[in-house]
Amino acid sequence: MSVKLCESAQEFLDETLALRTLNALSLNMISSVATSVARGDRSYDQYFWWVLKDEFGKVVGLAMRAAPHAMVLPQMPITAVVELADQVILLHDDLPEIGGPNEAVDQFMIAYKAIKSPGSKRKAELSHQELLYELRGLRKPEVSGTVRTATKGDFEHIHDWYLAFGDEAGILLHDTIESIEDGLKRASLFLWIDGGKIVSIAGHAPVVEIPRVMASIRESALKKLVRASA
């Protein structure tokens, strides 16, 4: 097992394309962040792009940190988790937060604490939990109101709602202004208007593009999975 720390977001995207395509849903957030950085749409304080390969050179895991945000750790083989923990200690023993599936985070913390570095002796606490939803079918709802794309004139309203959401959800928000400006620039923020008032806000991160050849590989793998479980 080997760990590579990529020098750029684009290198990270290129190295992990096959794995990200086969796990498009679970790795979507990582793909979206890396895509926005590679395009120059967003910037962060510091970057860490980890790629893990087995003895045959196949990518079996990945991890990311766009500081000041948490390290994002998806599910991967336990051997990869242990190797990753060893490498993280060398560069980032003061890592403040880790996010990912429960099992992946638990495995990482066990491997991390076993190293007994100064940082690994800190007490870890659960700060919050998140859910990942997959939309498999869309039905047009019968509700009053209309939708429109947000514009620069809506900035203050959106900003106030962002901050209120962070307070209510207990989430520490970073780069709120930059995030909203990016959404307005990409025309990816939408407002639901009812009775002449803004009643809801929605949006999406940068779209992650998957080449057709990779998409066909993922579709084939999913069909095999369905047949195997039938």
For 55, how many CA atoms within 13 A lie in the half-sphere containing its CB? 1
What's the confidence (pLDDT) of residue 17?
A: 92
CATH assignment of 2-130? 3.40.630
Using CA atoms, how far apart are residues 113 and 91, in angstroms rounded to an integer?
16
Residue 13 · residue 51 · CB < 8 Å: no
84 burial type by CB count under 10 A (0-12 exposed, 13-18 middle, 19+ buried):
buried
- Beta-bridged to residue 48, according to DSSP, are 65
Q: What are the residue ranges spanned by the domains of the chain?
A: 2-130, 138-230
In the β-sheet with 98-99, what is the strand arrangement from edge to edge? 2-6, 46-53, 59-67, 71-72, 98-99
Kindly report, residue by residue over 4-42, the tens digit of the pLDDT: 999 999 999 999 999 998 888 889 889 989 998 998 878
**If we measure between CA atoms, which residue out of 11, 21, 77 comes closest to residue 50?**
11
21 in Cβ contact with 42 (< 8 Å) = no
Give the global pTM.
Answer: 0.77
Strands lying side by side in the sheet with 146-149 = 146-149, 189-194, 197-203
pLDDT of residue 10: 95
Q: What is the mean pLDDT of the chain?
A: 85
- Tokens for 216, please give them: 């066909």
Give the residues across from 50 on adjacent strands: 5, 63
pLDDT of the chain along its 230 residues, tens only?
899 999 999 999 999 999 998 888 889 889 989 998 998 878 888 899 999 999 999 999 999 998 888 899 999 998 998 889 888 887 778 888 888 888 889 988 988 888 888 888 888 888 878 888 888 888 888 889 999 999 999 999 999 999 998 888 877 777 788 889 989 998 999 999 999 999 999 998 877 777 654 545 455 555 555 555 44
